[in-house]
Amino acid sequence: MRKFASFVFGSVIGALFGVVVALLIAPSSGEELQARARERVSNLRDEVQNAYKMRRPSSKRSWRP
């Protein structure tokens, strides 16, 4: 589980870094940039929530007290 958590953490940090770099070099107006940033953050949040929901039931079954 620790490897999976490290992978997810690294993926999130890498995605955030990529978003920041893309926003800094994008040739867009401020309003367009903000709208695109909101959309990307929303999509990322949805993907993380879906991954969590998909992973959670399998982790409950494999865990034994």
- pLDDT for residue 14: 93
| Of 64 and 3, the one with more pLDDT | 3
Contacts 24+ apart (CB under 8 A), 29-36: none
Q: What is the mean pLDDT of residues 19-37?
A: 80
Q: Is the pLDDT of residue 50 over 80?
A: yes
- Decide which of 19 and 15 is more confident: 15
Q: How many CA atoms lie within 13 A of 11 on its CB side?
A: 11
Is residue 42 scored above 90 in pLDDT?
yes
* pLDDT confidence band for 46 (50 / 70 / 90): very high
56 pLDDT higher than 80:
no
